[in-house]
Amino acid sequence: MRDEQVPRVAAAGLVIGALLGMAGSFAPTAALRALAWGTDGIALVVGSALLGLLHFRRGDVRLAAGFLVFLAGETLIVSGSAMDLAASAPSFAAGTGLWSAGLALVSASPIVPRLVRVTGPIAAILFAVTAAAIYGGAGLTPLSEPLPFYAYPFLAVTLFGWASVHWRSMAAADARRPADVAEYGGVRAR
């Protein structure tokens, strides 16, 4: 994959993750839920890893850290995708706690749209409350209502916002690049 493709691949991972995550929440069987959530988790891990490294290379350490902390949370959450909902609660609590921190770090960045600077912190707070409740002994599962169930739409909108920023950054870069110029490893060739 060329460097200039990274934001698009990452954006695609975030969108796939958001869509399959929401779909898994409404899956009619545990097997379909596991398939949707497992695939969603892999897509989010790939997208978050790519964005973490991209922003680290660009020198935005706080933003890079946000994506990497979100990634760490997602790895814990995806590990429970095929488990019974109640059995996955401990890793889900740890994952939502890390999601919360990652969402807060990324949402504090001025490069994200205003809507995401609102939805991200809302999701972060709701997931922090979820993690604290599970750690405190509440019998919550990934599909418990009201939390965490009603936090997922805020997460999905935030993921779409992150994807939009990175997709648009590539569209803007493509518009600035002359059609007859290709870039290979940082060296411009005609």
Tokens of 5: 């493709």
Distance between CA atoms of 91 and 95, rounded to whole angstroms? 6
Helices (H), the chain: 6-25, 30-57, 61-78, 89-107, 114-135, 152-176
- pTM, two decimals, is 0.88
Query: Which has the closest alpha carbon to 25: 186, 149, 136?
Result: 149
Query: Domain spans of the chain?
Result: 3-171
Average pLDDT over residues 119-142: 97
Distance between CA atoms of 40 and 18, rounded to whole angstroms? 7
CA-based angle 81:86:91, to the nearest 5?
55
pLDDT band at 1 (very low <50, low <70, confident <90, very high): confident
Residue 177 has pLDDT above 80, yes or no: no
For the stretch 64-115, pLDDT in tens is: 999 999 999 999 999 999 999 999 999 999 999 999 999 999 999 988 899 9
Q: For the chain, what is the mean pLDDT?
A: 90
